[in-house]
Chain A
């Protein structure tokens, strides 16, 4: 049985809080750029961006990053890779880039994302924002902004459904055993 861990209101609140934290930590939005990781981070990044923009009354660059070519599991994964769009809208040299993803798990996607990102330029800083941190890191990576920390078993599955401002938005945990 899938267990609901976040409903659409929880998600909305989490995004709002993260938006505030991002602004606070970076002392505004100048020099900021959000980059959503394909596919789960893309919509989250646009929602975070519009939240930040409405708070700050300004405009923030949002991009998407496909990390397929940077993964280290091409031979071990069951399903074959599907390539999605990468679109970095600005020159990231000297910028603070906030990588956005839905779930932070082993940290390998984030490692791949950082590798991908530096092929586009040399950001001053890379930060990480995730909706859910479920633990079980395999690499020394941590989130700068996390919507919610959720303890899980390694075999569990977390599914996030996120669409633009839908009341269907939710995160569920499927027991892996």
Chain B
């Protein structure tokens, strides 16, 4: 059973809680396949999104997830609100609570902001990405997608490729996959590998050819193009040559391997275009599953006693 009113990260979840979310999500995926894709469990509830970083995909996914469950969804626009006038995040959060929201879905460039809000607020806080810490709903939808294709997690080999240091998606997936018994390999240049990451029970590779070998799941991450300016990489072209996931390199993985990407993709930077559109790609499925997973999260948190 879910213990916390908040979803702060995968770190904080037990494998049982993760399975419970995934099971509930499959119920919602069935709902999404019907003609009438709307169910009433969150009728009268209000979900407010508070995004301090631009994001269309995650915000839209949460908005639709809320609406499919008959909740009201309101976007608290940071760029046009009092936040730009210097209001503290604490005051902003308390304002949203006072407006009667039941959930606040927060994204922020600084790690730990959802944790800060969870201490301040009585309502449920859902982390939609905080700094380089976590993006738990992305990892849950990735698990859901992997489960749909591979049926199990135990002893699966998942290769995550790219800017691990700055990636909350990578972090959440590392926690999620290792908790479920999968083997995680991280592949990236040493400049983009976080300190002492091996202690999380992952294996580190600097060569994509070695790291991708016999993998069941291959997951390139989005490369933020400003990394080049900051000196992490000599050039984006060199990155693609060294770490780009291509059809040729995918031949080193298992025959049955799938390719995932958290989006938005830089075609020709971290992933070859043809591969993204090819039969091994489950990238659009991930998007659909994201909706079901976010519905499950909202729904289950609503049922946690405050």
> Interface on A for B, CB 8 Å cutoff?
66, 68-71, 74-75, 77-86, 115-116, 119-120
B27 to A80, Cβ gap below 8 A? Answer: no
- Contact A81:B36 (CB < 8 A) given known A69-B31, A71-B41: no
**Residue pair B39, A69 in contact (C-beta under 8 Å):** yes
Decide: B36 and A80 in contact? CB cutoff 8 A.
no
Within 8 A of A (CB), among B1-45: 1-2, 20, 23-24, 26-28, 30-31, 34, 36, 38-41
| B303 adjacent to A77 (CB under 8 Å) | yes
Task: Tell me if A80 and B2 are in contact (CB < 8 A).
Answer: yes
A94 CA / B153 CA spacing, docked (Å)? 44
Among candidates A70, A77, A80, residue contacting B40 with C-beta atoms closer than 8 Å: A70
CA distance A80 to B38 in the complex (A): 21
Point out the residues of chain A lying under 8 angstroms from B20, CB to CB: 82
User: Which residues of chain B are within 8 angstroms of A81 by Cβ–Cβ distance?
Assistant: 24, 299-300, 303
Kindly supply a per-residue 1/0 record for chain B positions 63-96, scoring 1 wherever the CB is within 8 Å of any chain A CB and 0 otherwise.
0000001000000000000000000000000000
Q: Is there contact, CB below 8 Å, between A83 and B41?
A: no
- The listed residue (B31, B34, B303) touching A80 by CB distance below 8 A is B303
CB-based contact A69/B1 at 8 Å: no
Q: Is the CB of B303 within 8 A of A69?
A: no
Is the beta-carbon distance between B36 and A119 smaller than 8 angstroms?
Answer: yes
| Interface hub of B2, B27, B38, B305 (most chain A Cβ within 10 A) | B27
Hey, what's the 0/1 contact readout for B277-306 against A, CB within 8 Å counting as 1?
000000000000000000000011011110
Q: In the complex, which residue of chain B has the Cβ closest to the Cβ of A87? A: B30
- Is there an interface contact between B40 and A83, defined as CB atoms closer than 8 Å? no
On whether A74 and B302 interact (CB within 8 A), knowing A69-B41, A119-B34, A119-B39, the answer reads: yes
> Quick check: A115 and B304 within 8 Å, CB to CB?
no
The 9 tightest CB contacts between A and B, nearest first, are A83-B27, A69-B39, A119-B36, A80-B303, A69-B41, A83-B24, A80-B1, A74-B303, A81-B303
Contact with A along B155-180 (1 / 0, CB 8 A): 00000000000000000000000000
Q: How distant is B7 from chain A, measured CB to nearest CB, in Å?
A: 14
Specify which chain A residues have a CB less than 8 angstroms from the CB of B26 in the assembled complex: 83
Once the chains are docked, how many angstroms separate the CA of A80 from the CA of B20? 10
Beyond known contacts A68-B27, A75-B303, A119-B39: 19 more, CB 8 A cutoff: A69-B31, A69-B299, A70-B39, A70-B40, A71-B41, A74-B302, A77-B303, A79-B1, A80-B1, A80-B2, A80-B300, A81-B24, A83-B24, A83-B27, A83-B28, A84-B27, A85-B27, A85-B30, A120-B34
Docked Cα-Cα span, A75 to B69, in Å, equals 15
B27 near A66 (CB under 8 angstroms)? yes
Q: Which residue on B lies nearest to A71, using beta carbons?
A: B41
Residue of B nearest to A121 (CB): B35
Q: Shortest CB–CB separation between residue B281 and chain A, in angstroms? A: 29
Q: Whole-angstrom distance between the alpha carbons of A84 and B39 in the complex?
A: 15
A-B CB contact pairs (8 Å), 28 listed: A66-B27, A68-B27, A68-B41, A69-B27, A69-B31, A69-B39, A69-B40, A69-B41, A69-B69, A69-B299, A70-B40, A74-B41, A74-B303, A75-B302, A75-B303, A77-B303, A79-B1, A80-B304, A81-B303, A83-B24, A84-B27, A86-B27, A86-B30, A115-B40, A119-B38, A119-B39, A120-B34, A120-B36
Residues in B with CB closer than 8 Å to A69 are 27-28, 31, 39-41, 69, 299
**Nearest CB in chain A: distance from B209 CB, A:** 43
Q: A115: which B residues are within 8 A, CB to CB? A: 40
Which A residues touch B28, using CB under 8 A?
A: 69, 83
List B contacts of A75 (CB < 8 A): 302-303
| Binary contact track B118-153/A, C-beta < 8 Å → 1, others 0 | 000000000000000000000000000000000000
Q: Which residue of B lies closest to A115 (CB)?
A: B40
Q: How far is the CB of B10 from chain A (nearest CB, A)?
A: 19
Chain A: minimal CB distance from B27 (Å): 3
